[in-house]
Amino acid sequence: NAGVMQNPRHLVRRRGQEARLRCSPMKGHSHVYWYRQLPEEGLKFMVYLQKENIIDESGMPKERFSAEFPKEGPSILRIQQVVRGDSAAYFCASRETGTGGRGYTFGSGTRLTVV
């Protein structure tokens, strides 16, 4: 049973370009979370999704950022018109329904560098 798969592992974008980060949750997991980690900091919650629904997007910047988790396929975190401050590690995590009391499984992260 493969773990949470994130790709790409590393992504370099020029200012103004779009970044698309993909996350395939563990098989059977229908809850997906995205977190951002700035250098030397802890993880900050961005968005929580279930299949086809955004449950909590309280941590998402109001502009340029969007997320989806379609019925088929991976969850996508999309950053439009990237700026240098978007450079960070973006982690995806997933869990099964009813296991909210346990640790969820993280992917290896996508390191975004904006040049």
Applying CB under 8 A, the residues found at the interface with other proteins are 33, 35, 41-45, 48, 55-56, 58-59, 89, 91, 93, 98-106, 108-109, 111
For 65, residues 6+ apart whose C-beta sits below 8 A from its C-beta are 46, 77, 78, 79, 80
Q: Which is nearer to other proteins, 14 or 102 (CB)?
A: 102
Q: Are 37 and 112 in contact (CB under 8 A)?
A: no
**Residue 42 or 72: which CB sits closer to other proteins?**
42
Name the minimum Å distance from CB 104 to other proteins: 8
35: helix, coil or strand?
Answer: strand
CB of 18 to other proteins, least distance (A): 23
Q: How far is the CB of 103 from other proteins (least distance, A)?
A: 4
Instruction: Write the burial class of residue 34 (CB in 10 Å: 0-12 exposed, 13-18 middle, 19+ buried).
Output: buried
